[in-house]
Structure 1
């Protein structure tokens, strides 16, 4: 009984912290937009001009030129619960890092949709056309095969002679890796693709091998797909279903979980459909076609089994942690340096022990290897792909070790930071924010070298 009470108290506290943080982000975005409107209204002489200018910017698709003299674009891919440019008003998921270069795109992908579906969305966002999730996948997962239509891609010139630099945060990294494998496998009908469409991939606190946090949030370690009956994720599931079912257009334009292809709106399903969704008979949570199963250790092992590190692509990784060793124990490294939303999870993940009654998630698994973490992901998961096979890697102590850079190797650094240190709130990271992103952008522009106008040699 005592254990049950403690569990319910922990669930209540975790739920309140996450809800309050979500409300803070949402209200900050709304307040910023209202402030801009009020400022415009106080300047009547320029109001009409500014309104027209704003409408043009919102209505016009940003299309980057593929001219040979121009550098490759940099695409920033958000993680779980993230958003791209145009969502949440003027708020930036990457805290304004996209302003550091003229050729940067920040796509808005589903914040809770599966890695597969987000990879498909990302391709058509860049290349243009109607999103095709694939016939076999769509039937298996119970959603529409086709999704959003991009009349004009944001980088229609994209090919192996006009490649792209990708920077992914958290789950966004796996989205790009899956996309690159799809390009290599030529899975996009009507397009002759290859893995060399990706020039470089930078992982920022990337979920390369899954996370033990998923089990604290509600995924069962038995299979990595089923949810506990009472958990944070169950509450999240109910909230998402109601949000999509109520389907308030202006609200979904402001923030969208990305499940439109499941057609969960009351207009499509009615009351009976809502009951089926809540009872788990239909929808993304019934089929497992959403992001959390992909982030368990079992789900990541399954995903990684089909992914390669390619010989002509440059790979970089920034792993983060907020833990330290004390008297042989792994503990949170500080109180003030960890975001309140993450502090409890940092401590819990330090103490995680895989249940002895269930099979180990992979051969060679050890609880101690997964103790260091940043509150959302384990540090061992963020360095480079490790399970089921370890990919070529190089631990970087000094950036001079990276010159000249070699493709096909994961260069990785370990930084003292929690999982959201370098996103949303720029002031929180301080000077480290500029040092990090300036380094990433400079490397993309100066040190990642490939003669993209000559034939590319494949192994």
Structure 2
């Protein structure tokens, strides 16, 4: 009987969380459809003369922008979305980065798998830029049971990309870790047919609410603390898992043109698996959720620590991180810093994450872990995770209180700011971000253009700087 109230509370919280997430997803999807319909109706009823006057101007601007981004004269800035995100061309006319890409004429916004693993997304990002067919790697594909090859890019979005034409990368949430894995793959020459890759292909990395060290939210959503690659039987992630499987199995083309979770290389559609395949997928016998080759295991603290063991901070690359936080101390207790300033989808999680306690009977996720260090959060990630890579080993870092502290910037150091905002404050909804939105992205783009540039030889500095 003592377990009954806890069970009822847990189920009630699960129902509320599922409902809020479902409504938010429906809102985003319906907004995209409504935008597309309005554009179609406008085009249909627009007088033919107006069409003739307007269309050439739009095409001219698009072509000029495309040529500018591909001519190799100015390093493009690549915006990499996070979990459940999308790139240019998906969800109608919506922008994951809320239109921030319009602040510069040389910006690329790739569409990567929204729930695929960090490894798979890094591979997709490489071929999006260079062109060709995505190669997930022979060994990796065999281990995780999916096709070695994926989408074909007839034309790379930046085929000039090499050591002499490096790129700036900005990653939100899990997108930041995707960039780091990509840079390590470049350093390791991990792309077949490209023996000349190196870490020098990346000029700067900007992490915006980046998942650099994992998050305790994965445990609240359903990942098991004791078995970080497995889910609890009843959880928000289980509901998500079943929904994604059905969505991919049905394989409705117009829906997937709007939004794709990115699991096409697992070949889960009904034509290839049939009813028996759907049953196996739902039961967890096959597919990405059975093998662990999807994003959530990578976002656990343990999964991030495993990734970070092989990821370096390179001495000739510039790094900057914005860590977000929506908590404060009140009488020694960490609580949400605002009720109305936090998105409804994140409010409950801000409170839960601030009170999270690692189970006493489960080994700690890393040596030196303390619950109190992970209390501050933005509703999706813990603030400690977003500052710089620190699990299992601390990387060179410097807390920025005033911009003059990083003028000039030195490569090989993670400069970071802590700002008051929730996890989605700077994406999706431009109006919600307000003036802070413009200030942040202006800061990011100006740094890429004026303060992060390649030097012939990296300056000498201590191997370890931390503050």
**Where on the TM-score scale, by shorter chain, does this alignment land: which range?**
over 0.9
Does residue 129 (structure 1) correspond to residue 124 (structure 2)? The answer is: no
In the superposition, relative to structure 1, how do residues 194 and 266 fare at CA in structure 2: closer, same or farther (>3 Å)?
same
**Distance across 2 between alignment mates of 1:199 and 1:119:** 17
**Residue 419, structure 1, aligned to residue 423, structure 2:** yes
Cα distance in structure 1, aligned partners of 2:70 and 2:45: 41
Q: Alpha carbons of 1:59 and 1:236: their partners in 2 closer, same or farther (altered >3 Å)?
A: farther
Query: What's the secondary structure of 1:117's corresponding residue?
Result: helix
Partner residue, 2:311: 307
The residue that corresponds to 1:168 in the other structure is 171
2:395 matches 1:385: no
Cα 1:404/1:59, change in 2 over 3 Å: closer
- Following TM superposition, by how much is the alpha carbon of 1:42 offset from its aligned partner in structure 2, in angstroms? 2.0
Q: Is the 8 A contact 2:24 2:345 kept in 1?
A: yes
Q: Distance in 1 between matches of 2:223 and 2:50?
A: 51
TM-score (norm 1): 0.96
- Who is 1:450 aligned against? 454
Alignment partner of 2:13 out of 1, 4, 10? 10
Deviation at 1:62, TM superposition (A): 4.6
Counterpart CA distance in 2 for 1:384 and 1:455 is: 24
TM-aligned CA deviation for residue 394 of structure 1: 0.4
Aligned equivalent of 1:84, options 84, 87, 108? 87
In 2, Cα distance between equivalents of 1:63 and 1:238? 42
Given that 2:171 and 2:179 are in contact with CA atoms closer than 8 Å, whether structure 1 keeps it comes out as yes
Extract unaligned runs of 5+ from structure 1.
none
Alignment of 1:16-415 (within 5 A): 16-46=19-49, 49=52, 62=66, 67=71, 70-191=73-194, 192-415=196-419
CA shift for structure 1 position 41: 1.9
Counterpart contact for 2:144–2:293, Cα < 8 Å: yes
**Relative to 1, partners in 2 of residues 1:107 and 1:61: Cα closer, same or farther, differing over 3 Å?**
farther
Deviation at 1:58, TM superposition (A): 10
Distance 2:385 2:283 in 1: 33
What secondary structure sits across from 1:359 in the alignment?
coil
Separation in 2, partners of 1:270, 1:54:
45
Residue 56 (structure 1) shift: 10
Contact 2:399 2:417 in 1 (8 A): yes
- The one-character-per-residue Cα deviations of 1:187-237 (angstroms, maximum 9, x if unpaired) are 001111000100000000000000000000000000211100000000000
Asked if 1 retains the 8 angstrom alpha-carbon contact of 2:411 and 2:458, the reply is: no
Contact 2:69–2:107, Cα closer than 8 Å, also in 1: no
**Matches of 2:122 and 2:146 in 1, distance apart?**
16
Change in CA separation of 1:109 and 1:53 when aligned onto 2, cut-off 3 Å = farther
Q: Count how many residue pairs are aligned between Structure 1 and Structure 2.
A: 456
Contact 1:422–1:429 under 8 Å retained in 2: yes
Please give the alpha-carbon distance, in whole angstroms, between the structure 1 residues aligned to 2:264 and 2:56. 30
* 1:448 to 1:61, Cα distance in 2 relative to 1, 3 A: closer
Closer/same/farther in 2, CA of residues 326 and 443 from structure 1, 3 Å limit: same
The runs of at least 4 aligned residues of structure 1 exceeding 2 Å deviation read 46-68, 454-459
Q: CA contact under 8 A between 2:69 and 2:76: conserved in structure 1? A: no
Distance 1:226 1:432 in 2: 38
Structure 2 residues without counterparts, runs of 5 or longer: none
- Determine the C-alpha separation between the residues in 2 that align with 1:368 and 1:294: 22
Tell me by how many angstroms 1:40 deviates.
Answer: 1.7
Give the Å deviation of 1:99.
0.3
Distance change in 2, residues 1:54/1:285 (3 Å): farther
